[in-house]
Amino acid sequence: MRATRLVEALPANTPFIGPERLMRENGHTELVRLGANESAFGPSPKAVEAMSAELERLSWYGDPDSFALREALAAKHRCSVEQILVGSGIDDLMGLTVRAFVDIGGGAVAARGTYPTFAYHVAGYGGRLETVPYTNEGEQDLEALAALARRVRPSVLYLANPDNPSGVLVEGERIARFYESLPDETLLLLDEAYADFVAESRLMEPRFEDRLVRVRTFSKAYGLAGARIGYALTTPRNAERFERIRLQYGVNRNAQIGALAALQDDAHLRWVVAETAAALGEYETLARDLGTTTIPSYANFICIDMGEADRATAIVRALLRRGVWVRKPGAPPLDRYIRVSAGTPPMRAAFANALRAALVECVALP
Amino acid sequence: MRATRLVEALPANTPFIGPERLMRENGHTELVRLGANESAFGPSPKAVEAMSAELERLSWYGDPDSFALREALAAKHRCSVEQILVGSGIDDLMGLTVRAFVDIGGGAVAARGTYPTFAYHVAGYGGRLETVPYTNEGEQDLEALAALARRVRPSVLYLANPDNPSGVLVEGERIARFYESLPDETLLLLDEAYADFVAESRLMEPRFEDRLVRVRTFSKAYGLAGARIGYALTTPRNAERFERIRLQYGVNRNAQIGALAALQDDAHLRWVVAETAAALGEYETLARDLGTTTIPSYANFICIDMGEADRATAIVRALLRRGVWVRKPGAPPLDRYIRVSAGTPPMRAAFANALRAALVECVALP
């Protein structure tokens, strides 16, 4: 039994290894979870309460239109319900965007080493991805990306802002100029998963054009990663295109309910953003104490320089042996960093202790 | 901005209209939900308890491998963990199967008027669906399906058993003979969403071959439709193919936890199955009292004959005006039936009253 030509040709890879598998394979009963940029500060208690009250009705499908949530999101973003599409997380929405806009053999562009799910979808739908490396300062190279786009004229260009894994923020006005410089046939897929950690005024202004799909999530600042829910801001025309191919009943009912309640709990969001800033500040101090540097981050994680890629890999392993789970970027020049998510004070302390011990161990490595 | 050739060519349709939209459009504040074959008997209280206890950790992604749940499912089905793939419901798994096996322009076969999501995915991935009508008795015509398959040699043939919307069960041995009669290049996608309402001995025996993908769900007897979780039983080779294209973090964390707890609550499952049988028996009596018939059903819904298609459509509308939501099959010969899900005793009473009134009204229609 033969699969499609496309699927037979795909590599047998797993883009991410989850902490549960690391625990099974390494015999840990617990891990300090600082590897997936989850919120260590949890979901809003109001979201928990709202979901708890509705668990007995989980035998009902969720509203396939996610209407109540889209109404609340439309109010938040001062746009219409038709400009919003809810999906089961950004990975889902990114897959829909690639599927809707990248023909087989069609072009796509992204920074080499940015959030890998875009590349995964481009490969999975038979597109042709071209990349440019990050700058030595750890930023997505907007000039090189725009130049490549003008040459390749891709259907979709992916940009994460704030970026993952670097944490770098590109100011909204610069994003707007970059977007305007792209060819007419290129859609900008702007991944704003970490936008809730940034002042609105620093993000690109609201724009609804067929060439722009912005994706947001409840997985990060809102602390609902396990619920799988996010949304796209785009034109009604694009939303209707996604409507033709999406899983109509793909979004968990309780995720819709939790997201709606979370949106209404500003106090929790502000607290998470403040705690996250405190955590990153502490990591910066720790890095300085250890004689190294960080990349200034506007997300809920930060990259700490380990000097070289092999050493960063060894440190990730040494931390894991001590029960602390972080990840590291895979592509140069960021591959000499480890990426650690904002933790609670006890998680930060566990990380600091484990990192100090790991550094002693890894400096001694041959 | 142009979408792909494939997506531009798709019809702008919504395969299902949810009850929430019907309520918004018709001004209902409540509906008796008997239209989506959800469980009126709710999830297992143990599942609710397990999910409730974990809501605060919904800020964590679920295990991308769904390992604990797959271990429990492997024990239930006496197979290996590698023979199970968990997805966010059967619609998701069906999409993966079509995407993995149906090339653009490739063939697919199903009964005309069976569960529509298969046709939706075949169109969405650019396949070419050929169908055969149901028999006059309301059964999928296995002989005609097999003959069509020998002629078309499709990559995938879809069969639901028990079937939706007819409720008909084909005995396991007959399914096995049908499967064996299919061409070597045809994969059987066997949708067993309603299998939990049937004695195991009447289903096809366990078989793990590359040409067979069986899909199951927690949406029906287990009462977790809103959680979006189901699984495929197939070979490790096929599971690995799906691994290359699936959303790695697509399954809600709490859905995994709820499904695992639900699997361990046999008493609740048995109670749901018994209540469902009672509901269907009551609907059969009601139909007899009203001078009409039903198709013998092995699922959690039943089709009641309204004589002709226009009348069935009018009855569905008349029921909706009375706050009772059911659906009807769209294709002949089943389009003269209404399909009603098993309800609780008060839901059944509401349905019976509304149906009696609707019949009076619709008989009087011009």
Helix (H, G, I), strand (E, B) or coil at B96: helix
Q: Is A85 on the interface with B (CB under 8 A)?
A: no
CATH number at B5-42+267-363:
3.90.1150.10
What is the rounded CA–CA span in Å between residue A218 and residue B108?
37
What is the rounded CA–CA span in Å between residue A11 and residue A24?
24
Q: At B25, list the tokens.
A: 């459009």
Q: Is A274 on the interface with B (CB under 8 A)?
A: no
pLDDT for A160 beyond 80? yes
- Which chain B residues are within 8 Å of A255, Cβ to Cβ? 252
A14 pLDDT tier (thresholds 50, 70, 90) = low
Contact B91 A248 (CB under 8 A): yes
Q: At A337, list the tokens.
A: 């960093």
CATH number at B45-265:
3.40.640.10
Q: Which of residues 177-206 of A touch B (CB under 8 A)?
A: 184-185, 187
For residue B58, give the nearest of A185, A226, A243 by CB distance: A226
Contact A43 B65 (CB under 8 A): no
Q: Is A145 on the interface with B (CB under 8 A)?
A: no
Q: Which of residues 230-249 of B touch A (CB under 8 A)?
A: 238, 240-241, 243-245, 247-249
> How does pLDDT run across A322-348, given as a tens digit for each residue?
999 999 999 999 999 999 999 999 999
A240 pLDDT tier (thresholds 50, 70, 90) = very high
What local confidence, expressed as pLDDT, does residue B366 receive?
43
What is the rounded CA–CA span in Å between residue A193 and residue A239?
19
For residue B124, give the nearest of A62, A238, A245 by CB distance: A245
B318 to chain A, minimum CA–CA distance in Å?
A: 23
Q: Which residue pairs, CB below 8 angstroms and at least 24 apart, start in A326-330? A: A326/A34, A326/A35, A326/A351, A327/A35, A327/A36, A327/A165, A329/A113, A329/A165, A329/A166, A329/A303, A330/A113, A330/A116
What local confidence, expressed as pLDDT, does residue B339 receive?
98
Contact B61 A102 (CB under 8 A): no
For residue A56, give the nearest of B11, B48, B95 by CB distance: B48
Contact B61 A219 (CB under 8 A): yes
What local confidence, expressed as pLDDT, does residue A366 receive?
43
Q: Is A29 on the interface with B (CB under 8 A)?
A: no
A39 to chain B, minimum CA–CA distance in Å?
A: 6
The mean predicted confidence, pLDDT, of chain A is 96
Contact B64 A3 (CB under 8 A): no
Contact A244 B64 (CB under 8 A): no
Average pLDDT of adjacent 10-residue blocks, chain B of 366 residues: 94 81 91 98 98 98 97 98 98 98 97 96 98 95 98 98 98 98 98 97 97 98 98 98 95 98 98 98 98 98 96 96 96 97 98 97 65
For residue A248, give the nearest of B15, B52, B247 by CB distance: B15
What local confidence, expressed as pLDDT, does residue A365 receive?
52
Q: Where are the domains positioned within chain B?
A: 5-42+267-363, 45-265
User: What is the mean predicted confidence (pLDDT) over A276-300?
Assistant: 98
C-alpha distances in Å from residue A214, one per residue of A69, A77, A167, A211, B158:
17, 12, 18, 10, 36
